[in-house]
Amino acid sequence: MEFRAGSPADAEAIAALIASFQSELTDDPSGAGAERYLASVSVQAEREYLASERYRYLLAYSDSQLAGFIAIRDGSHLFHLFVERSHQACGS
C-alpha cells in the first residue's frame, strides 16, 4: 500500500470511486433527487477541491489502483472517506 497527497490530476479516480457507491448514498439508485449531491462529487467538483488550499486529500494506492482516500476540509472537518470494497475489512 502506498500513500500520497492528492492533486487535481487525481479527480477522475476519486470521482469514480465515489460514484461506485452511488446506489448506497442516494435514495434512488439512479441518482434521481440527488443531483445537487452528485454535482458536488463530480470530476470537476473534486478537481476544484483538490486545487483549493481548504482541502487536504490523502490517497491510498494498491497495485497502482486507488484503494481509498480521506479528505479533510479546513484542517478539522472530515469531508470524504471512501475505501474501495475489495479493501474494506482488511485491517487488523
pLDDT value, residue 92: 46
92 lies in a domain?
A: no
pLDDT in tens, 60-80: 999 989 999 999 999 999 999
pLDDT value, residue 24: 78
State pTM to two decimals: 0.88
31 lies in a domain?
A: yes
Q: What is residue 58's three-state secondary structure? A: strand
81 lies in a domain?
A: yes
Residue 17's CATH number = 3.40.630.30
Q: Which residues of the chain have pLDDT under 50?
A: 92
User: Cα(74)–Cα(77) distance, rounded to whole angstroms?
Assistant: 6
> What range defines the domain where residue 59 resides?
2-87
13 lies in a domain?
A: yes
* Total number of domains constituting the chain: 1
pLDDT value, residue 71: 98
12 lies in a domain?
A: yes
Residue ranges of the alpha helices (H) in the chain? 11-19, 22-25, 35-40, 43-51
Place of cell 446506489: 23
